[in-house]
Structure 1
Amino acid sequence: MVAACRAPPISYLSPPNPKPRIQSKSSSSTSPPISRVQFPNRRLLLLSLPLSGFLLLPVPAFGEEYDPVTAPERDASALISQRVAKGVELLEKGRELQAQGDFNGALDYFSQVIDSYKDLAFSEYARVGRALVLYEVGDREQAIAEMEDVSISLKGYPEVHAALAAALYSDKHAPLLAENQFTIATLLDPHFTDLSYVRNTKHWPPSLVSSLQHFITLS
């Protein structure tokens, strides 16, 4: 007779006891509020920085102001300022003589500026003055060549465009080129349509004023 099967004990059927959950100390403790977090103040932060960068800075003596410009730089700047002032003085003297009708004297001063200060920007305006007075007392071909050259380097300067228009019309018989130059001049400064303006304000030589009149009247 087969023995009846005995049911396993209840302890065998039940699952093994789970491992006890170990609660870490960090999880059990709550994070401190943000307001309680301490940050180092600025004084401590500055004291912690290396001093090597600060030691490279020049420290002026007590009561002495720090000047970033060295003595040689200051001397060079003074020489440049004196040179610019001298060149501008010559340019203004040439314009003054031009206004007085001394076109030969004006030519001399304008030429001094061009020869001695060609590396400075204002020498281009001396070239304009020299071209105007050359048209009166010198070679008109040279004057027109000077006007054409300066009209490129000083493109947008209305006086040189107006003068070139007058010369191209009267001396080169090139009305279309003259019209182009005069359009540029009058768009920038409409005063150049007024003969009294070029005569009394800009002090053009009589021959150039006459050439501009011929162009305006198409005579």
Structure 2
Amino acid sequence: MSTSPMFNARDLARIAIFAALIIVLGTVAVPLPGGVPVTAQTLAVMLAGTVLGARKAPLAVLIVLVLAAVGLPVLSGGRGGIGVFVGPTGGYLIGWIFGAFVIGLIAHRQRPQPRWWRVAAGTLVGGIGVIYLFGIPVQALVTGVDPLVTLLSSAVFLPGDVLKVVLATILTLALWRAYPRAFGRADSVHAGERTPSDALA
């Protein structure tokens, strides 16, 4: 009896597209004190989670981070090289992987069709909470600033990140209405759960 591969060619193409989206949205960055710039790359990470789901979204992020590690300028402001992982933004970058997983887990749980409140909750918890959970301690360690002070100073990012949550929710629902096949076979938490592809069959 044959077994289907974990990811088919269409899945791999979708992963590559979102990796490219993360790179493209990092071309514009606004530097801030503390070494962590404001960038739209987090929005792309959120969208990867809401569209690709918990299994595939981290792979899109991982592709970008591997390209950065080998020196390609794929991060915000054209940064790359192994040094970015030991700088102030290193924790945030690693947090992208886990954040994308959590976003996909919440956004795709139980129902194939995205519900705005699940998408919003996923991007809020995974796209802000999880990424901050990894990023703030590393930033505090690298910069030598007290973690509480670093946490408070990170409040400057919150309005922009909340805006990204809103945009990610709107864009995800709009994409579902316009082209549900973009979601492929959404990651299921429970065996036998219907997926967007099943719904279209």
Larger RCO (alpha carbons 8 Å, 6+ apart): 2
TM-score by length of structure 1 reads 0.27
* TM superposition score normalised by structure 2: 0.28
